[in-house]
Amino acid sequence: MAISHNDLSLRTHWRSDISSRLALFLVVISVLCGLVSFVLCLAAEASRSEATWYLLSNNGDGSKTYQCVYTSSGRTPLACAVCAFLLLAVAMFAEHAYMLVAATSPKHPALAAWPSLPDDPRTSSSAARTLTLRACFLFLTTWICFAIAAVLLIIGIGVESGHISQWRNPKPGCHVIRPGLFAAAGIFGLITVLLGVGLYLTALQTQRLHQEEENMRRGITQATRPHQFPPPSAPQAAHTTQGGDPATINKASTSA
């Protein structure tokens, strides 16, 4: 059974529709994970452990001996920080999964042509350059913000996990997190998600621009293509034989 051009068009449209729904689903998942991660970072900031210092002895030479006690075990901020880190990682993966698949897929030439747009004479328009620079800026800034948020969360997790057991016992030294560390991690994580959404919208604009240029180029090619007509056939003369059947007279050169 032969496959017509309409069948291929329907299959391409179906795959494009599925890809669009998948991209929208991944973006929604990314935004939700980013928002929940931000809320968990605020919860970790509100429940972070603090240290209370006590004066134990006052020596005669003027020196004093202090010991500290943690105000909490740190399990709540530790759990919130771990969950926030995992959700931020899921959001980062979700918002870049479709980008990576689309950039390596031949079905999306617009995304795959991002690095070659400025050097391609066919797409050297100012709009294409602007979208390319914007996409590169958003991509790099997204990863930088994600790295900062991840480092801050890892620091908070390391500090809060150091006094889970025996946190009520007095100690000569207590390591606590500075105020605002978890909040800063949540802010950078939220910025990461918003930049990822901007990257997705820029990718859609780039793809739409390439589709418009391709349609315009295809229309110009079809308009300038010369129409080819089949050559007229040579007339043939016929005569009737004795049996009544028509016979074709072929002109042949006779020798002298």
What is the tens place of the pLDDT at every residue in 73-121?
888 999 999 999 999 999 988 877 766 655 555 444 444 444 444 444 4
Average pLDDT estimate for 5-26: 56
Q: Above 90 in pLDDT, residue 64?
A: no
Residues 6+ apart with CB under 8 A from 199: 95, 99, 135, 138, 139, 142
Residue 252 DSSP symbol = -
- Which helix or strand (DSSP H or E) is residue 65 part of? strand 64-70
- Which helix or strand (DSSP H or E) is residue 47 part of? none
List the domain boundaries for the chain: 15-49+73-163+177-214
Report how far residue 117's alpha carbon sits from residue 99's, in angstroms, rounded to the nearest whole number: 17
pLDDT of residue 193: 92
Please count the residues of the chain.
Answer: 256
Q: Above 70 in pLDDT, residue 231?
A: no
31, 193 in Cβ contact below 8 A? yes
pLDDT of residue 112: 43
In one-letter notation, the amino acid at residue 179 is: P
3-class DSSP assignment, residue 68:
strand
Report how far residue 85's alpha carbon sits from residue 89's, in angstroms, rounded to the nearest whole number: 6
Average pLDDT estimate for 226-244: 51
Q: Above 70 in pLDDT, residue 184?
A: yes
Bigger pLDDT: 93 vs 123: 93
What pTM did the predictor assign?
0.68
